[in-house]
Structure 1
Amino acid sequence: MIEIGTLEGDGSFPAYLAEPEGVPRAAIVVIQEIFGVNEGIRRKCDGWAEKGYLAIAPDLFWRLQPAVELDPDVPEEFQQALELMGRFDQDQGVRDIDATIREARKRLSGSGKVGCVGFCLGGRLAFMTSARTDVDASVGYYAVGVNSLLGEKERIAKPLMLHIAGADHFVTPDIQRAMHEGLDDHPQVVLHDYPGEDHGFAAEMGNRRSAQAAQLADRRTEEFFARHLG
């Protein structure tokens, strides 16, 4: 774990850091689900480090409940996660992601590219990060509520990939249609649909994981970052 200073200079927050062997090819900010920087998110970071990337997962809930780690397969913990999401300041969260991007650039000596990948709430934040920061490439898995963010799409100047779960009970068919209608013609955005898959299909572990779809989405993400980050 490392500490990252806020953009406002009023404090610092913890983040999980996974470093590759040798010189990193680039950096990736891994944006948590509503369950905190839990084992699944740390595994995501470790996986990117094994592929040669510097990976950092900031604890975005630090102002609400520092170091929270929740299990989506435990009903009581799922409800706790929903409660935290309801109180979470997403705009502030993007500023903390921006601070993490700047920390990653420093660790790359200012010469490497930085991407971000987020899941669930983190997928939504990845979209917001693409529109509001200088991140070099972004990926969102089953991002929630993107239809309410489409007014920001003209600010997306770097590549963005979104993975859409076709049977997502949090992202209903009407929202999926709005995403396609609003983004299919955007020159920087690519959408991938996974028919029949539910929210959380690419989780590293647990009941939500759907291995075949997860492997396909992860391969697309890896190729996307290799193309745009190096």
Structure 2
Amino acid sequence: MPRSHYEKITTPDGDFDAFCAVPETTPAPAVLVLQEVFGINDNIRGLTEQLAEAGYLALAPDVFWRVEPRFERKDESGLADGMAHVQQLDFDLVPGDLTAVMAHALAMPECNGRIGAVGFCLGGTLAYLFAGTARVDGRGPDAVVSYYGSAINGMLDLAPRLECPVLFHYGAQDPYIPAEQIDEVEQAFSGRSDVVLHRYEAGHAFSNWDAPTFFDERAARTAWPRTLDFLEKHLR
């Protein structure tokens, strides 16, 4: 079983926490787990621990720390609170925070020097942002997985800066991400053999087992092994 605790991440304007799960065997590749609007909740901690069980040093940073440290909501009842926090999130500061987490993870003795990220919902957008902006000693992440990031099609000018392999998961019936926006993302990376995009007969947040109106077990059970295979290929 993986061991879990909170790591303290230091930035120029303050410290914040990252939930961390350590695999049985180290050093190992590191994976950042980037949160939904519900914060670092049971779902995100569970996914972080699943990655550790798969052999990764997994860290889920508290992205909302400037708004409300350790904010978490369990399910759909917390959606309004989470969306209000997104409105207060300073997207100009987030890349620096994610870079700080990357640097911290790479410096941990449990990390073998390889690093990636998996993000969900808000975190799906942040995973894309992480791939395009996070650089430590001149190198970026080695692989990134993005689940239904709704703002990505508005950030496609960043696409040429994504230097690592990327896996995108989208729900074909996502009310928040129209099919034409998914098409735009697919077209932006059409010349990249190391970028894969999958669509599922599901809606938004289909991976979140704590949110019954969103969760789609069939889609989640298909996407997660694809995620693990992708990380295995590019981080091992």
The gaps in structure 2 that reach 5 residues or longer are 1-5, 135-139
Alignment check: 8 A CA contact 1:117 1:138 kept = yes
Q: 1:23 deviation in Å?
A: 1.0
Q: Let me know the Cα RMSD of the aligned residues.
A: 1.4
Alignment check: 8 A CA contact 1:123 1:141 kept = yes
User: Structure 1 pair 10/223, CA: closer, same or farther in 2 (3 Å)?
Assistant: same
2:92 alignment partner, SS class: helix
Q: 1:63 deviation in Å?
A: 0.3
1:219 aligns with 2:225: yes
Distance 1:114 1:227 in 2: 12
Query: 1:92 matched to which residue of 2?
Result: 93
Q: Deviations over 1:67-106 (max 9, x none)?
A: 10113321xx211111111111123122111111111111
Paired letter, 2:132: A
1:28 aligns with 2:31: yes
Aligned with 1:61 (options 64, 73, 78): 64
Query: 2:177 matched to which residue of 1?
Result: 171
Distance 1:153 1:86 in 2: 24
1:144 alignment partner, SS class: coil
Q: 1:204 deviation in Å?
A: 3.4
1:139 alignment partner, SS class: strand
Query: 1:2 matched to which residue of 2?
Result: 7
1:113 alignment partner, SS class: strand
Query: 1:13 matched to which residue of 2?
Result: 16
Distance 1:109 1:20 in 2: 9
1:127 aligns with 2:128: yes
Paired letter, 2:23: P
1:169 alignment partner, SS class: coil
TM-score of the pair, normalised by structure 1: 0.93
Q: Deviations over 1:180-200 (max 9, x none)?
A: 222222243211111x30001
Q: 1:22 deviation in Å?
A: 2.3
Paired letter, 1:165: G
Query: 2:157 matched to which residue of 1?
Result: 151
Paired letter, 1:144: S
Higher strand share: 2
TM-score of the pair, normalised by structure 2: 0.91
Q: How many residues align?
A: 225
Distance 2:112 2:207 in 1: 31
Alignment check: 8 A CA contact 1:168 1:199 kept = yes
2:76 alignment partner, SS class: coil
Aligned with 1:141 (options 147, 150, 154): 147
Query: 2:194 matched to which residue of 1?
Result: 188
Query: 1:78 matched to which residue of 2?
Result: 79
The gaps in structure 1 that reach 5 residues or longer are none
Q: 1:172 deviation in Å?
A: 0.9
1:206 aligns with 2:207: no
Alignment check: 8 A CA contact 1:137 1:158 kept = yes
